[in-house]
A = this chain, B = another copy of it.
Amino acid sequence: VAQTSLPVVQIVKRPGIIELGWGHPDPALLPIEQMKRASSAALNTSDALQYGNSNGPGPLVEWLMRRIADQEGRSIGPDEIVITGGNSIALDQILDLHNRPGDTVLVESPTYHLALLILRGRHLALVEAPCDVNGLRTDLLADILTDLKRAGKSPRALYTIPTFNNPMGVSLAKARRQALVDLAAEHGFLIIEDDVYRELPYDGAAPPSLWSLAEAGVVARMGSFSKSLAPGLRLGYLTAGRDLVSGLVDGGVLVSGGGVNHLTAVAVGELCNCGDFDAHVEVLRASYRERRDTLIAALKDCLPAGCEVSTPGGGYFVWITLSGNLSADDLLPIAEAEGVSYLPGSKFTLNGGHASALRLAFSLYPPDQLAEAARRLGRAIRAAL
């Protein structure tokens, strides 16, 4: 292979810094051998190289339908599910199909900063709805909806990550789930549920998806293999109302090109159907649970009194609110000089809120490094206070 000056992967690690700003999996936990077997099995016939079925390859779609029926208690037909190229492009495609520029769209705050980039790219009128440690404040959302109605505006959609959310790591409380679904049905907006962390619960089962609680058509749930298997697969699935699913399946892109990411989808179908998926997510849960526990314990030891640390039930992230109204933006260069990095809380809002908060990802490094990162962060905060 010739000289390659361009990178292969997205992440750039700086020497001497424990990079807790990146919400990426640990490369050591990626299912390399399983994907080798699955890719080889997928290529035992030519099927995986032909134009694929528009919904996705049957064995993968049917495995998902069985799993969803088992775990979420909802039986769906193949007209309510479609394979996607991961949640980033799925979000963009849902917004594109469902909204027009200028539409009012609600976003929880704080929320995934790069979802905000996708939402902003669609020229929407974005309105924030605040979260606390139990997720979206549905009581405040009801007020916002009343105010919008009074102003003659009816929101078309709401974007939320109700389960092991990014950036806070917390989940929407069960009573609020039903309240949110009811508000959506009442006000006629689509809930776009980013369900990417569902397979990574560390304290018992994940809470029910909003999609599983709602009438058909109220929620578009984006599931993904990025956290349960690997982000480089660029593979996920959408369960949603028939209109939205057929908007994708019967649209020109899939009718012309066939199913999304077909070769990879056939390979992942092999991986799931042979039992490797369930075995792998068990390994991930044990490993990330230990990382979470180690990081939380170390933060409690090392951070000055007054700093608040979220208690994530799953996923990748811990959210810290700094004591003394310290600015996480101002703290960052001090922390990096100590050898630890993070993302400041303001990145996860539209207008710079949560300036005293920060997000740590515990997915990328083993426990000893996470404990060291907590010590470095503690030193940095003490230096800055």
Contact = CB atoms under 8 A, between A and B. Distances in A.
Interface of A: 1-11, 24-25, 27-28, 30-32, 35-36, 39-40, 43, 45-55, 57-59, 61-63, 66, 78, 85-89, 92, 96, 100-101, 112, 114-121, 226, 229-234, 251-264, 266, 270, 273-274
A241 to B, nearest CB: 19
B273 A258 contact: no
Given A6-B61, A32-B46, A49-B30, A232 B258 contact: yes
A120 B116 CA distance: 28
Contacts of A28: 46
A115 B78 CA distance: 26
Number of copies: 2
A279 B290 CA distance: 50
25 contacts: A1-B59, A1-B270, A1-B273, A1-B274, A4-B58, A6-B61, A6-B62, A8-B52, A10-B258, A27-B50, A30-B46, A30-B49, A32-B46, A32-B49, A49-B229, A49-B231, A49-B233, A85-B260, A89-B257, A114-B255, A121-B251, A231-B257, A232-B258, A261-B264, A263-B264
A257 B273 contact: no
Contacts of A232: 47-52, 258, 262-263, 266
Contacts of A258: 9-10, 231-232, 234
Given A58-B4, A258-B231, A264-B264, A117 B11 contact: no
A232 B46 CA distance: 9
Contacts of A226: 257
A103 B112 CA distance: 33
Contacts of A264: 261, 263-264
Given A39-B40, A88-B257, A256-B88, A50 B234 contact: no
A41 to B, nearest CB: 10
Q: Which residue, A10, A35, A233, has most C-beta atoms of chain B within 10 A?
A: A10
B233 A257 contact: no
Contacts of A229: 49
Contacts of A66: 2
Contacts of A116: 252
Given A59-B8, A263-B264, A50 B231 contact: yes
Nearest to A112: B256
Nearest to A63: B2
B114 A252 contact: yes
A361 to B, nearest CB: 13
Contact of A10 (B5, B25, B53): B53
A54 B10 contact: yes
B32 A43 contact: yes
Contacts of A251: 117-118, 121
B50 A11 contact: yes
Nearest to A58: B6
A290 to B, nearest CB: 20
A256 B11 CA distance: 12
Nearest to A27: B46
B89 A9 contact: no
Contacts of A8: 47-48, 52-53, 57-59, 266
Contacts of A4: 58-59, 62
